[in-house]
Structure 1
Amino acid sequence: MKKLMFIAVFLFSSIGLMAQEADFGIKGGFNYGATGDLKMENASNDLGNIIEGKEKSGYHIGLFSRFEIVGIFLQPELMYTRLNTEYETFNYKIDKIDAPILLGVNVFGPLNIKAGPSFQYILNNELEDTQLKIGDVEKDITVGYQLGAGLNLGRLGFDVRYEGAFTDNTAFSEEASDNFSIDSRPSQWILSLSYAF
C-alpha cells in the first residue's frame, strides 16, 4: 500500500511539473440516479420478485486537481458522494468515496469533454423507513466510469457527467429470513460546480 501511494504521489508530481497549467480546487453539487434491482426471493417462485429502483437526488463534495498540456488534461478528484434509491416501501442509501481519474480535451473555447475510470470505496449502505436490515456490499472497492462535458469560466467550472459501473456489487439481507439482495451499482447523472484556487 505504501508503494502504491508513493507511485501515485510521484506520478502526480511529475505530471504537475510537466504541465503547462495546473489547477487545484473544490467542487460539489447534486447527483440524480439509482442503484440496481432489488430481488426479493420467494419460496413459491424460483424467479423471485424483482423491483427496479427509482431515481432520487443525492449530493457530492470534494477536491480536484487538473494538469493541462497542449489542450489535453488529466483531472483526478477525491469526492464524498451520497446516492439514494427508492424501492416502493423503503429507501436505500449509499455513502462512498469516489476517486475518478479523467482524461479530457478542450474542444471549443471554454468547453471540454472528459472520460475515465472512477474508483469507488463504499463507506456505508443502509435501508431507511423499514425494519429490514442489509449487510455489507460484496466488494468495498469497485471500478466504474464517468463521462461528460464541462465549461470553464475563469476560476469557475460547470460539469455534467454520467456515471456507471463495470462489475456487479451486491448487498444481501442481514437476516437470512428476509432473503433479499440489492444490486448496489450506481447509475447516475452528476451536476457539479467547481472553484479553482
Structure 2
Amino acid sequence: MKKLMLIAFVFAGMSLSAQNASFGLKGGLNFGATGEYESVGDATGDFTSSFEDGENKTGFHAGLFAQFELLGIFIQPELMYTQLNTEYSTFDYTLNKIDAPVLLGVNILGPLNIKAGPSFQYILDNKADGAGIEIEEVENDITVGYQLGAGINLGRLAFDLRYEGAFSENTAFGLNETAAEEFTLDSRPSQWILSVAYAL
C-alpha cells in the first residue's frame, strides 16, 4: 500500500511539473564592460604601470530558456550566446561566450517577479581590434558569475532586466606593439542585460 501511495505521489508530482513548465526563445541587448586594463612593462625593460577602466558598450545575446514553477516559486535555466563589447583608449575588446544561468525566482505581485542565481560561462573567443594590439586567450575558459534582476510576464511574452557580475578575475595577456608594452586585461563581465522572451 505504501509503495502504491509513493508511486501515486511521484506521478502526481511529475504531472504537476509538466503542467507548470514552459519553454521558449529569448534575446536582447546588454550594456557593460570587461574589467581593468593594466600595462606591466615596456620593451626597454623598465617597469611602468598604468591602469584603465573600460568604457561600457552595447552587445547582444540570444538563446533558449525553460521555466519550472510550483506555488509561485520557479527555477529558470537558460542557454545563451552573448557578445560583450568594451572600449579602451587604444583598442576595442570583444568577448564571445556561452552563458548558462540557473536562476531561482519568485512571483511577488501579479505578473512581476524577481530572480537570482549563478551563471556558468564558457568563453568562446576574445578579440582586440586596434593597431598593433595582440591578445592571448583568457586564463580560464570556464568561469562562474551571478545574475540578479526582475521581470514581468505578459502572457507568452516576458521582459527582463538583470545585472551580471563575476566572482573572480579572469586575466588575458596582450602586447601593444605601438607602445612597446605588455599588458593584462581582466575579462570578467560587468553588465546590464535587457531581454524579451517568448514562450512556445
Give the TM-score normalised by the residue count of structure 2.
0.86
- Matched-pair contact (CA < 8 Å) for 2:30–2:84: yes
Residue 7 of structure 2: aligned partner: none
Counterpart of 1:170, as a letter, is T
What SS does structure 2 have at the residue aligned with 1:188? Answer: strand
1:42 deviation in Å?
3.2
Unpaired segments of 5 or more residues in structure 2?
Answer: 1-12
Measured in 2, the distance between the counterparts of 1:42 and 1:135 equals 17
- Runs of 4 or more consecutive aligned structure 1 residues displaced over 4 Å after TM superposition: 14-17, 43-47, 174-177
Residue 106 of structure 1: aligned partner: 107
- The sequence identity of aligned pairs, in percent, is 60
1:19 deviation in Å?
5.6
Residue 198 of structure 2: aligned partner: 195
Measured in 2, the distance between the counterparts of 1:58 and 1:24 equals 24
Counterpart of 1:42, as a letter, is G
Give the TM-score normalised by the residue count of structure 1.
0.87
Unpaired segments of 5 or more residues in structure 1?
Answer: 1-13
1:191 deviation in Å?
0.1
1:130 deviation in Å?
2.5
- Matched-pair contact (CA < 8 Å) for 2:176–2:183: no
Counterpart of 1:71, as a letter, is G
**Range moving further from structure 2, 49-58 or 16-25:** 16-25
- Matched-pair contact (CA < 8 Å) for 1:19–1:69: no
Residue 60 of structure 1: aligned partner: 61
Larger radius of gyration: 2
Match of 2:182 among 179, 184, 188: 179
The C-alpha deviation readout for 1:111-168, integer Å capped at 9, x for no partner, is 0000000000000101013321100000000000000000000000000000000011
Measured in 2, the distance between the counterparts of 1:187 and 1:31 equals 10
**What's the Cα RMSD here?**
2.1
What SS does structure 1 have at the residue aligned with 2:168? Answer: coil
